[in-house]
Structure 1
Amino acid sequence: MKPFPLDKVYQLIEPGPVVLLTTAFDGKPNVMTMSWHMMMEFVPPRIGCIVSSADHSFSALFKTGECVIAIPSADMAEKVVAIGNCSGRDTDKFAEIGLTALSAEEVSAPLIGECFANLECRVVDRDFVERHNLFVLDVVKAWHDPKQVAPKTFHHKGYGTFVIDGEEITLASKMP
């Protein structure tokens, strides 16, 4: 073993797949790229996610307590990176990037038509927002596109490097 730089540790344990987080505030939809998220519970599905207070989406998520986590396939990687490389403060990302905003049923934030899954979420815990920018979300409605069969997700490894899901294996498990 050799020492590893602390500022690169996140590249080793970056969570899985890159997702898009949509919000809507004052009738204006926005979308950001996000890869710092984690499952916290199975039922109800609970997700923790980090949204930097410097991000335009932070304010909308904090004020409305609602969002959509849209899961893109690897085919959308270039669009997802383009979304992450501009700000909703001065860009209509849906128009600029060419995304289809669809109405959600339970939240005001839009679904993204091109994504293979969309999760409507509500903030259920703000205890860690001030200290860590960590929002705890419950998924209140989930959607998938049955036309997108076996989509591959992609994972950020840092500094513009991504890994696309590979071979799927099944091992014996006692998990349901």
Structure 2
Amino acid sequence: MDQLALTRAFTLLESGPVILLTTQDGEKSNIMTLTWSMVLDFPASFAISTGEWNYSYAALSKNRECTLAIPTVDLLDRVIGVGTCSGADTNKFEKFGFSKKPAKYIQAPLIKECVANIECKVVDMIERYHIIVLEGLAAYYDHSRLEQRTCHAVGDGTFIVDGERIDRREMMKSKLPDGL
């Protein structure tokens, strides 16, 4: 086995789906691209990593809510565009052609073009590690969308696209929460 530079170790684990996070600061909505997220617990606890260097952070920390929107591979270039400019001087919904859809429990909008959206509230902010812990309030999935494959950032400017789904539910039945 060859040694990998420690500066590249994160590329071995980062491959969760690329997500879009929406916020609402009271006057305007914003979108940011995130690649660092994880599931914490059943049924709906998550963590993301971001900080004051991102424009959305002020609204996220003030209002303590956001939407996690999951885009599909056909949206990748728009998602990258969102991540390469700032909401401080750009209306990302307009510039990248994303449509706001009202959320049920929070002010931050859902993104209509995404295959899934999760309304969340902030339950903890761990400043030392720039980790924000979220609790899901409602989740939505668009089964009618033709493209269902998500993208996964490797962290070096390359992406992995979902492939074949392998069903092992029966084998894992004893470890899955009721209702799955």
CA distance in 2, matches of 1:139, 1:109: 13
**Could you state the TM-score of these two structures normalised by the residue count of structure 2?**
0.92
User: How far did residue 150 of structure 1 move?
Assistant: 6.5
Judge conservation of contact 1:47–1:136 (CA < 8 Å) in 2.
yes
Question: Which one is further off, 6-15 or 65-74?
Answer: 6-15
CA distance in 2, matches of 1:30, 1:64: 13
2:30 corresponds in structure 1 to 30
1:51 corresponds in structure 2 to 50
Deviations 1:77-97 (A, max 9, x none): 111111111110110000001
Tell me which amino acid in the other structure corresponds to 1:86.
C
2:148 corresponds in structure 1 to 151
Judge conservation of contact 1:46–1:139 (CA < 8 Å) in 2.
yes
Q: Alignment partner of 2:154: what SS?
A: strand
2:19 corresponds in structure 1 to 19
Let me know the Cα RMSD of the aligned residues.
1.2
1:133 corresponds in structure 2 to 130
Q: Alignment partner of 1:31: what SS?
A: strand
**1:25-174 paired onto structure 2 within 5 Å:** 25-43=25-43, 45-126=44-125, 128=126, 130-148=127-145, 151-171=148-168, 172-173=171-172, 174=174
Tell me which amino acid in the other structure corresponds to 2:101.
L
Tell me which amino acid in the other structure corresponds to 1:23.
T
Tell me which amino acid in the other structure corresponds to 2:109.
P
Q: In the comparison of the two structures, how many residue pairs are matched?
A: 173
CA change 1:114–1:124 in 2 (3 A) is same
Judge conservation of contact 1:41–1:47 (CA < 8 Å) in 2.
yes
Deviations 1:70-121 (A, max 9, x none): 0011111111111111110110000001100111010110100000110000
Q: Report the identity percentage.
A: 39
CA distance in 2, matches of 1:150, 1:31: 21
CA change 1:103–1:5 in 2 (3 A) is same
User: How far did residue 15 of structure 1 move?
Assistant: 3.8
Runs of 4+ more than 6 Å apart: none
CA distance in 2, matches of 1:53, 1:7: 23
Deviations 1:131-156 (A, max 9, x none): 11111000001111131257001100
User: How far did residue 169 of structure 1 move?
Assistant: 1.1
CA distance in 1, matches of 2:166, 2:144: 23
Judge conservation of contact 1:46–1:138 (CA < 8 Å) in 2.
yes
CA distance in 2, matches of 1:39, 1:159: 22
